[in-house]
Amino acid sequence: MGEYGVTPGQHVAIIWDSSSPAEALKDLVEKIQALVGADSRVAVENVNQLFQSAHRESSFDVILSGVVPGSTAQHSAEVLAEIARILKPGGRVLLKELVVTESGNNSRIKTAAKLPVALTLSGLVEVKELQKEVLTPEEAQSVQEHLGYQGNDLLIVQVEGKKPNFEVGSSSQLKLSFAKQPGPSGKPSLDPATAKLWTLSANDMNDEEMDLLDSDELLDSEDLRKPDPSSLRAPSCKELGKKKACKNCTCGLAEELEQKKNSQPKSACGNCYLGDAFRCASCPYLGMPAFKPGEKILLKENQLHDA
Amino acid sequence: MVGRKLLVLFGSQTGTAQDTAERIGREAKRRHFHCRVEALDSYEVANLINEPLVVFVCATTGQGDPPDNMKMFWRFLFRKNLPPSSLCQLDYAVVGLGDSSYPKFNFIAKKLHKRVLQLGGNPLLPVVLGDDQHDLGPDAVIDPWLLALWDKILTLYPLPPGLEIISPDVRLPPKYTLHYLAEDSSHPGGGQLQPTAPRAVPSELHPFAARMVSNQRVTAESHFQDVRLIEFDISGSGITFSAGDVVMIQPQNRPEDVQQFCQLLRLDPNRCFVLKPTEPGTPLPALLPQPCTIRYLVTHYLDISCVPRRSFFELLSYFSTNELEREKLEELSSAQGQEELYSYCNRPRRTTLEVLWDFPHTTCAVPPDYLLDLIPLIRPRAFSIASSLLAHPDRIQILMAVVRYKTRLSKPRCGLCSTWLASLNPDQGDVRVPLWVKKGGMKFPADPDTPVIMIGPGTGVAPFRAVIQERVAQGRRGNCLFFGCRQKTKDFYCQAEWEELVTKGFLTLFTAFSRDQEEKVYVQHRIRENRRLVWELLSSRSAHIYLAG
């Protein structure tokens, strides 16, 4: 495993802010790119642009934030939540943040205790504090410039967190089994007392005074859903071929149909005398029963009109 | 074969769930399972704790309600006193049949699946939700699900060594065998219904043969629709009902159709027969007298005017001696052929009899043994009772529109029951109609001062006629009716009755005649026009509001 625990082929996001020195950021990006290999799997984001970028959820294996040496990043609850969203299930975030050691200071900077809590509240698990560092003089200077904070109780803490190993919205069935030891058939054996109660109840069919459960309570919101209407359509449900010419027909179909109406219809397939099950879609005898052998059928005038 | 048991339990209202259940039963037999297929209310529920493998096939009907033949089971299943691990030995799966245009889509199957899980059952697969709204019906989702189910089941219960799945080319034995009696043996008056024992309340298994008293057309002769007010005599039946209840009528086939069917299948209508079950323990069909005549079977039992299902084509293909016909029948019963089946059969509402006519070589080769496997029992039809016992004791009246419409078939489609009832003339002799009564869904206020607002266009007014007659007999005046139809002079049925009640102060009537003027006027327009009155009734008098039609 390379530095920061990044392995080849992973999708990595590096989040920086205005306090991160440009050179150091470039160095870090190159280092990570070398680790994961080519194909631009490294996304580099300014924390203020993070929301606009609207990355697809669950797209990154590793997110590094505030780890550029010299950075004084502060992670808000919204940023942490966004990080949690775009991490893949089981993915890791590694971040560095300034903390104060004493609480009670009227400052935006979190206390050492509050930082892991902030990660947990955003939905990350296995939150671990990896290391604490005292600021170098340059870093202290940087803090003063960017955050206007002057105190000497600052530390830089490196914290790691993980996204839980299931996706938002996934479901899993709980196994609530009160099963007793299985009997010889491999099934749980039936308690004789239970069997007796059931039998007694079953033999008393006079249920005028029986207490009944409300069956509606068994249903949940999933049960109240209706099927999607598109799922109810058959792949091809066409009307049996009835040709209709448009009112101002110019293609000649109208005349063709007129002619058909006036002449005795001819069978296209030769199966007309069999029932509807065997006739083709344009058969003029559709709708009539099968003919008796030797029977000659003359269609009545009104039966030749389009329905 | 020991231990290879599968139980299929169904709750079916229109027969679709039962047909699906029977299909699963056949597929189970082909995989060498000993399989029983039963309606849920006919099954001894005490045994459920011992069942190893059950497939439930349940329709949802009404407003998210269980079908009639599983109502008892449903009440049992939700008892609080059932221990949570009762069904720990049960592997199960649930097939649902419903219609997603209803809000409570497949609620029965969904609830059943969860409740059995709650009681310790082990589901083999997620519940499958068949949908009438799908272009290709419930089978569109059930077909692939069943493939997955058999995979699962055969993993748990692999085929015994040396046995293969019985090929779909091999025909399964019929449920019953049909044995003709000698031609000269005396036969009963086959065709007459025996009067019920006076104590039993008439039901589906024991209908009451009610005498038709009158059969009047209530729409103008020139009106396109034939609507009848029909009255039955129920004295001596033990039937009671209240307004809002429903009468179930068991129809029969037309004599011309019966004759045509017998000709096609080369059956002699006058022969007598008895049925014997193929598997011992199978009960005989409840509504068939034994011995029975062919004429009785085809007139009263076999539903030859129903639209045949996929299973009909599958079974019919086995009897075909003609290659062209057999190929077509096999195609129409295959999963790939469902679109063509829907186009040939379901959409134009082609009847079983018409299909048999189209496949002459196959039809004449159908063995009588298979008739009851091929064609289902005629289903009863429900009508809202349009009269009250308080106004017309010992009588049931119904308001019935004769169903008749065109599809792309040259012959118009006719409702079996409405056409049959319309053809009966009580002036020409003793006319009997098998019927029984079922509780309705509407409940009316117990407090006599609570007003009732009823909206009933067309024949939807039928149950409200019963309600109004009942309330008037009880002296209750708060009755408000919104009635709509096409033209005052053509289909304003019960006009005289309503006008009399309005004069006497028992009824507030609003009418909407949609075609009596240029713009269409419907009941909702009248409701809006009278919204102040409606609101006043609802808010300060706690009126109950009802809608039917």
Which residues of chain B neighbour A283 with C-beta distances below 8 Å?
none
A288 touches B at CB < 8 Å: yes
B78 touches A at CB < 8 Å: yes
Burial class of residue B332 in the structure, from the number of CB atoms within 10 Å of its CB (0-12 exposed, 13-18 middle, 19+ buried): buried
Confidence of residue A258 (pLDDT cuts 50, 70, 90): low
Residue from B46, B118, B113, B119 nearest B86 by CA:
B119
Instruction: Indicate the angle between helix axes A114-121 and A77-86, nearest 10 degrees.
Output: 50
pLDDT for B202 equals 93
Burial class of residue A150 in the structure, from the number of CB atoms within 10 Å of its CB (0-12 exposed, 13-18 middle, 19+ buried): exposed
Which residues of chain A neighbour B76 with C-beta distances below 8 Å?
201-202, 205, 207
Q: A8: which DSSP letter?
A: T
pLDDT of B261 higher than 90: yes
Cβ contact, residue pair A234, B110, below 8 Å = no
Which residues of chain A neighbour B5 with C-beta distances below 8 Å?
none
Q: What is the DSSP string of B200-262?
A: SPP-SSS-EEEEEEEEEE-S-TTSSS-EEEEEEE-TTS-----TT-EEEE-----HHHHHHHH
Question: Which whole number is the average pLDDT over A98-119?
Answer: 78
A198 touches B at CB < 8 Å: yes
pLDDT for A206 equals 72
Q: How far is A285 from chain B (nearest CA, A)?
A: 9
Cβ contact, residue pair A290, B133, below 8 Å = no
pLDDT for A221 equals 85
Confidence of residue A176 (pLDDT cuts 50, 70, 90): low
| Contacts with B, A 78-137, CB within 8 Å | none
Q: How far is B42 from chain A (nearest CA, A)?
A: 13
Residue A102, in any domain of the structure: yes
Which residues of chain A neighbour B330 with C-beta distances below 8 Å?
none
End-to-end CA distance of chain A: 76
Architecture of the CATH domain B452-547 = 3-Layer(aba) Sandwich (3.40)
**Mean pLDDT value across chain B:** 93
Which CATH number applies to B255-374? 1.20.990.10
pLDDT for A56 equals 84
Residue A220, in any domain of the structure: no
Which residues of chain B neighbour A202 with C-beta distances below 8 Å?
44-46, 48, 76
**Is A268 in the same domain as A134?**
no
Choose among B82, B115, B358: nearest Cβ to A275: B358
Range of the domain at A123: 12-163
Confidence of residue B186 (pLDDT cuts 50, 70, 90): low
Confidence of residue A297 (pLDDT cuts 50, 70, 90): low
Which residues of chain B neighbour A203 with C-beta distances below 8 Å?
46
- Residue bearing the bigger pLDDT, B267 or A44: B267
What's the Cα-to-Cα distance from B470 to each of A26, A203, A292, B34, B280, rounded to whole Å?
A: 92, 39, 56, 54, 51
pLDDT for B188 equals 53
Residue A288, in any domain of the structure: yes
**Spatial contact of B177 and B282, defined as CB atoms under 8 Å apart:** no
pLDDT for A238 equals 45
Which residues of chain B neighbour A210 with C-beta distances below 8 Å?
75, 79-81
**Chain B interface, best mutation among A178, A198, A221, by max B CB count within 10 A:** A198
Question: Which whole number is the average pLDDT over B228-253?
Answer: 96
pLDDT for A294 equals 56
**Spatial contact of B464 and B244, defined as CB atoms under 8 Å apart:** no
CB pairs under 8 A between A and B: 142
Can you say how many angstroms the Cα of residue B97 is from the centroid of all Cα atoms in its chain?
A: 14
B150 touches A at CB < 8 Å: no
Cβ contact, residue pair A211, B80, below 8 Å = yes
**Is A16 in the same domain as A159?**
yes
Cβ contact, residue pair B357, A289, below 8 Å = yes
pLDDT for A188 equals 80
Residue A211, in any domain of the structure: no
CA angle (B482 as vertex; B480, B485 as ends), nearest 5: 150
- State pTM to two decimals: 0.71
* pLDDT tens digits, one per residue of B420-435: 999 999 999 999 999 9
pLDDT of A252 higher than 70: no
Least confidently predicted of A239-243, B193-197, B252-256, B410-414 = A239-243
B327 touches A at CB < 8 Å: no
Last residue of a domain, one of A163, A184, A215: A163
**Mean pLDDT value across chain A:** 77
Residue A171, in any domain of the structure: no
Q: Does domain B5-156 have CATH number 3.40.50.2300?
A: no
Q: How far is A269 from chain B (nearest CA, A)?
A: 15
pLDDT of A300 higher than 60: no
Which residues of chain B neighbour A307 with C-beta distances below 8 Å?
408
**Spatial contact of B97 and B47, defined as CB atoms under 8 Å apart:** no
Of the options 3.90.79.10, 2.40.30.10, 2.40.50.320, 3.40.50.720, the CATH number for the domain spanning B208-251+380-438: 2.40.30.10
pLDDT of B407 higher than 70: yes
Question: Which whole number is the average pLDDT over A162-175?
Answer: 76
Count each helix (H run) and each strand (E run) in chain A, helices first: 7, 7
Residue A50, in any domain of the structure: yes
B188 touches A at CB < 8 Å: no
Question: Which whole number is the average pLDDT over A188-214?
Answer: 83
pLDDT of A301 higher than 90: no
Query: Are B208-251+380-438 and B452-547 the same fold in CATH?
Result: no
Q: Which of A107-111, A259-263, B202-206, B525-529 has the highest mean pLDDT?
A: B525-529
Q: Which of A114-118, A166-170, B278-282, B534-538 has the highest mean pLDDT?
A: B534-538
The span from the CA of A61 to the CA of A7, in Å, is 10
> Residue B37's beta-bridge partner residues?
B8
Counted domains in chain A: 2
Cβ contact, residue pair A215, B111, below 8 Å = yes
**Spatial contact of B180 and B407, defined as CB atoms under 8 Å apart:** no
Helix (H) or strand (E) holding B464: helix B462-473
The span from the CA of B334 to the CA of A40, in Å, is 53
A195 touches B at CB < 8 Å: yes
**Spatial contact of B278 and B174, defined as CB atoms under 8 Å apart:** yes
Question: Which whole number is the average pLDDT over B73-77?
Answer: 94
The span from the CA of B377 to the CA of B298, in Å, is 10
Least confidently predicted of A48-57, B137-146, B221-230 = A48-57
Q: What is the DSSP string of B358-385?
A: H-HHHHTT--GGGHHHHSPBPPPEEEEB
Least confidently predicted of A266-275, A298-307, B91-100 = A298-307
Residue from A44, A47, A35 nearest A9 by CA:
A35
| Contacts with B, A 172-191, CB within 8 Å | 178-180, 185, 187-191
Confidence of residue B370 (pLDDT cuts 50, 70, 90): very high
A225: tokens are: 């859903």
Question: Which whole number is the average pLDDT over B200-224?
Answer: 93
pLDDT of B273 higher than 60: yes
pLDDT for B374 equals 96
Cβ contact, residue pair A276, B350, below 8 Å = yes
Choose among B83, B136, B328: nearest Cβ to A197: B83
**Beta-carbon contacts of residue B2 (< 8 Å; ≥ 6 apart):** none
**Spatial contact of B345 and B408, defined as CB atoms under 8 Å apart:** no
Question: Which whole number is the average pLDDT over B263-283?
Answer: 92
pLDDT of B438 higher than 80: yes
The span from the CA of B105 to the CA of B132, in Å, is 10
pLDDT for A211 equals 84
**Is A159 in the same domain as A18?**
yes
Choose among B82, B134, B410: nearest Cβ to A288: B410
* pLDDT tens digits, one per residue of B214-229: 999 999 999 999 999 9
Q: Where in chain A does DSSP place strands (E)? A: 12-16, 42-46, 60-65, 87-100, 110-111, 125-134, 154-162
Question: Which whole number is the average pLDDT over B450-465?
Answer: 95
The span from the CA of A259 to the CA of A256, in Å, is 5
Confidence of residue B138 (pLDDT cuts 50, 70, 90): very high
CATH label of the domain that carries residue A51: 3.40.50.150
Q: Domain ranges in chain B?
A: 5-156, 208-251+380-438, 255-374, 452-547
> Residue B512's beta-bridge partner residues?
B484
What's the Cα-to-Cα distance from B16 to each of B11, B98, B126, B172, rounded to whole Å?
A: 10, 10, 21, 21
Cβ contact, residue pair B45, A227, below 8 Å = no
pLDDT for B333 equals 93
Q: How far is B20 from chain A (nearest CA, A)?
A: 20
pLDDT of B243 higher than 60: yes
pLDDT of A305 higher than 50: no
Residue from A92, A53, A66, A78 nearest A14 by CA:
A66
Q: How far is A57 from chain B (nearest CA, A)?
A: 30
pLDDT of A247 higher than 90: no
pLDDT for B153 equals 95
Least confidently predicted of A133-147, B17-31, B300-314, B361-375 = A133-147
* Closest chain B residue by Cα to residue A228: B100
Question: Which whole number is the average pLDDT over B64-90?
Answer: 93
**Is A17 in the same domain as A159?**
yes
A145: tokens are: 């410039």
